[in-house]
């Protein structure tokens, strides 16, 4: 099966490093959104009929710009819209932080995401990061999710401080997705809990192929 993987804001495709070896012999297409230069080599295509896997903002990006039709969608600590659930001053403070000291702002974000001391290899792209925050502040992919017409798997951490539990429940609960919770996983589940993620993804992928 073809897998399209899209990372979240403040990361590059290195966020998948711990998960990829556990996903089996699928054909992988890593999409780079331009937030940090120097990550794993990006794919130049997103084939249709792919299983699309997004982390955080990568899920909303896939809903807006991913291949159609999709074979299925996997959200890992993801969302269809975040500004509904985050106070406006939070995003504005992050914009101010990027203007003053991008490295310090990203380090604060990574720490808040649950991986203190995490620093991905590469060079921050200030313009790309600011543009990504603008997307987060403006985009709502609720209609795209409603009209997706494909199975959806959502994996979420109950202690996620970026996409909090109430937001994940509101977005993915109530039949919008097959939703699974990890009690203590934080926001960076592909890095911190790859075995748990892979078990659910591989089972979900097997069901799509059945």
pLDDT digits (tens, 9 = 90+) for 99-155: 999 999 999 999 999 887 788 889 999 999 999 999 999 999 999 999 999 999 999
Domains along the chain? Answer: 2-209 (3.40.50.1820)
Q: Percent of the chain scored above 70 by pLDDT?
A: 100
3 state DSSP class of 139: coil
Is 200:177 a contact under the CB 8 Å cutoff? Answer: no
Q: How far is CA 23 from CA 3, 46, 195, in A?
A: 10, 18, 10
pLDDT of the chain, 210 residues: tens digit per residue: 999 999 999 999 999 999 999 999 899 999 999 999 999 999 999 999 999 999 999 999 999 999 999 999 999 999 999 999 998 899 999 999 999 999 999 999 999 998 877 888 899 999 999 999 999 999 999 999 999 999 999 999 999 999 999 999 999 998 989 999 999 989 999 999 999 999 999 999 999 986
Single pTM value for the model? 0.97
Phi and psi at 181, nearest 5°, equal -110, 145
| Res 88: pLDDT | 84
Determine the longest span between alpha carbons in the chain, in angstroms: 52
């Amino acid at each position: 099966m073809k897998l399209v993987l899209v990372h979240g804001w403040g990361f590059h495709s290195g966020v998948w490093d711990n998960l990829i070896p556990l996903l089996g012999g699928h054909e992988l297409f890593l999409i780079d959104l331009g937030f940090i230069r120097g990550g794993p080599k990006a794919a130049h295509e997103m084939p249709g009929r792919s299983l699309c896997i997004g982390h955080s903002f990568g899920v909303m990006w896939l809903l807006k710009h991913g291949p159609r039709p999709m074979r299925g969608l996997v959200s890992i600590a993801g969302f269809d819209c975040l500004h509904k659930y985050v106070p406006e001053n939070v995003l504005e403070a992050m914009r101010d932080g990027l203007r003053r000291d991008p490295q310090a702002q990203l380090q604060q974000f990574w720490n808040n995401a649950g991986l203190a001391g995490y620093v991905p290899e590469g060079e921050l792209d200030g313009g790309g990061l600011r543009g990504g925050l603008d997307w987060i502040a403006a985009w709502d992919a609720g209609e795209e999710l409603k009209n997706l017409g494909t199975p959806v798997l959502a994996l979420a951490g109950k202690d996620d401080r970026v996409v909090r539990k109430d937001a994940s429940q509101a977005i993915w609960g109530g039949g919008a997705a097959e939703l699974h919770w990890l009690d203590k996983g934080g926001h960076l589940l592909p890095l911190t809990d790859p075995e748990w993620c892979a078990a659910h993804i591989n089972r979900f992928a097997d069901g799509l192929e059945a």
